[in-house]
Amino acid sequence: MAEAQACISSQEFTEWQAYYSLEPFGQEPDDLRAATLAALTANANRDGKKQPRPFTVNDFRLMKTSPKRKTAVELLAAAERANALLGGMDVRDEHTGDAGR
């Protein structure tokens, strides 16, 4: 991962982090989609007498944890840490906290 980060700017890295917090991608969301389809298929073919309780998505998930959505304050703090670690400069106006554009 360090090699990939060396190929992009701190701004682009921060944008990817923010995007992932809004629209997670990768193994966990893929697992959730597969589990949802498996639960749908199992419930459509379920014998209510043998299996009275409907199957849930969690019955089919390989990974039982899901990513926690971050607040705007948490995202900003993560962006500030990444910016500092990558040697970026904070260009927000000191009085308002807004980006100088």
Backbone torsion region of residue 66, taken as left when φ is above 0, otherwise alpha when ψ lies between -120 and 50, otherwise beta: beta
Structure tokens at 67: 């990513």
Cα separation, 17 vs 8, in Å, equals: 13
Instruction: State residue 98's pLDDT score.
Output: 59
Q: Give the global pTM.
A: 0.47
Q: Write the burial class of residue 22 (CB in 10 Å: 0-12 exposed, 13-18 middle, 19+ buried).
A: exposed
Alpha helices by DSSP H, listed for the chain, are 2-6, 10-22, 27-44, 72-85
Task: Report the percentage of the chain scoring pLDDT > 70.
Answer: 81
Q: Domain map of the chain by residue range?
A: 1-24+70-93, 30-66
